[in-house]
Amino acid sequence: MQDEYKKKSEDEECDEVSYSVKLVYAAAIIVWIFLVVWLSLYRSHMLSVIILMFPLALFFIGIFNSDVVTEEVERSIFKTNYAGVGFLFLVPLLAWVSKDYTGDGEWFTTLLMVAIILILFSLIDVWVKKKWIRTYRHAISALQTMALFLIIYSLQEYYLTGVGSLGMLC
């Protein structure tokens, strides 16, 4: 009887974590759409639009797979994720490159600053109960995904709009 109760309790906890992970990715979708609209990222080349769709696809994959992803899989994925620290070294380089940008410099700088802010938020350690660690990791992953794609977007904007050397791709 006690084993049955324990099993039921574990299943309920797993369902609760899966639900909270789905909420994290749903919130990430809303935040990403807000950023795209706020920064007017949708008014760009076709390649830019394709880049902007990737985070949405990844967030939907996260929602659909939240029921089947095990803690072991999450540990192996999140164990090797040092993206936040790597981005911090990349972003000053992008800011330096923005000096040569011939487009709207204020917009380009805002884009980079939003990426930096997302990276910094992803580096914040929040001490939570054990059952919320998985949800926390997915929230960090969503922030890093948004930052990564803002950086990718800014690089492609730099080369398509800023210096025009890749203009043939649009």
Tell me, what DSSP letter sits at residue 168?
G
- Tell me the whole-structure pTM to 2 decimals: 0.80
Q: Is 62 exposed, middle or buried (0-12, 13-18, 19+ CB in 10 A)?
A: buried
Instruction: Report the C-alpha gap between 25 and 14 in whole angstroms.
Output: 17
Going residue by residue through the chain (170 aa), what tens digit of pLDDT does each one get?
555 545 545 556 667 878 999 999 999 999 999 999 999 898 777 888 899 999 999 999 999 988 877 666 666 666 655 666 666 667 676 666 667 777 777 888 888 889 889 988 988 888 988 888 888 889 999 999 999 899 889 888 877 775 655 544 44
Question: What pLDDT shows up at residue 168?
Answer: 47
DSSP of 123-155, one letter per residue? T------GGGHHHHHHHHHHHHHHHHHHHHHHH
CB environment 136-170: b (16+ within 10 A), e (fewer): bbbbbbbbbbbbbbbbbbbbbbbebbbeeebeeee
Q: How many Å apart are CA 138 and CA 70, to the nearest integer?
A: 13
Sign of CA dihedral 101, 104, 109, 112: negative
pLDDT of 106 reads 83
| 164: its two tokens | 């025009």
